[in-house]
A = this chain, B = another copy of it.
């Protein structure tokens, strides 16, 4: 990761490589782990909190950790840099905005990010582009074993891994996939989609987690339960639902193109036209238009820009990224202008 030039590299979750990448942007598995000898981060003293960080970062810098991780101390970073990590999905908003000694250890390719002193002492996350949940699981499982051989995890034979919030006790596992469902949104079936996903004990969230809207028609689907099932069962439960959801969106796309081809084409092309010409544009509108363009590429309407570029724009046009790219702090109005400029530049428009 290059904090000074966020355009230098595309994050793992945006690479668009792997199965069903037209609909599944990325797969993520994270494990919540705590240290046996320290209190949970919400109750810990500042002295112990620092000690815990030293203890963990030493373990994370061990040569047995693959891929190697670089530790970023959030309490020593600017607000914009911290926000940028949130926008890149490497850390959480809560973690970024908290206080005290804390950080995140990230691999060069951004496929691994370990949050330190978030709600739990460790939140080990592994990302894979597209629908590669099992791969993400086996990678995080291996990493967990290596980290667990370096530090003492708080573990109860009865409950499993202990965690600050009861919903994470047990396996401490949350698996999620990020889905792009524009046809579903266009055909106004989002509510019925939410209901059917909830019925099989999965949760749906927006692009930036709980309580965020499904901006850009991006939805995160994840397991709700962490206790009472094995890790493999949780992964399998989520993984088995995804092909149905993918099928649902594919059908919605076909139906849309069958029933209102010119409306879809029109929406896709106008979105592309507006991104190429706007002189001021909000972040939300950008996500919405990028979503249409992404659909347009996937259904074969647009071939002058690739999905990776669109995926990357989803993140690079967010406020913190934009300010890093411009190298200055910008108010909302200036950001909207800078965003429009940046998009035109990326799309090769004058």
Identify the A interface with B (CB < 8 A): 262-263, 265-266, 269-270, 272-274, 276-281, 333, 337, 340
Q: How many copies does the complex hold?
A: 2
Whole-angstrom CA separation of A321 from B277 in the bound complex = 29
Whole-angstrom CA separation of A86 from B256 in the bound complex = 38
Whole-angstrom CA separation of A270 from B278 in the bound complex = 5
Nearest Cβ on chain B to A276's Cβ, whole angstroms: 6
Residues of B within 8 A of A276 (CB): 273
Contact of A280 among B266, B273, B277 (CB under 8 A): B266
Residues of B within 8 A of A265 (CB): 279-280
Whole-angstrom CA separation of A274 from B262 in the bound complex = 15
Contact between chains at A269 and B262 (CB < 8 Å): no
Given contacts A262-B279, A269-B277, 4 further A-B contacts (CB under 8 A): A262-B280, A265-B279, A269-B279, A273-B278
Whole-angstrom CA separation of A303 from B146 in the bound complex = 62
Nearest B-chain residue to A275, judged by Cβ? B273
Residues of B within 8 A of A273 (CB): 270, 273-274, 276-278
Pairs A-B, 10 closest by C-beta atoms: A273-B277, A273-B273, A266-B279, A269-B277, A265-B279, A266-B280, A262-B280, A270-B277, A270-B274, A273-B274
Nearest B-chain residue to A269, judged by Cβ? B277
Residues of B within 8 A of A280 (CB): 262-263, 265-266
Whole-angstrom CA separation of A157 from B269 in the bound complex = 65
Nearest B-chain residue to A262, judged by Cβ? B280
Nearest Cβ on chain B to A347's Cβ, whole angstroms: 11
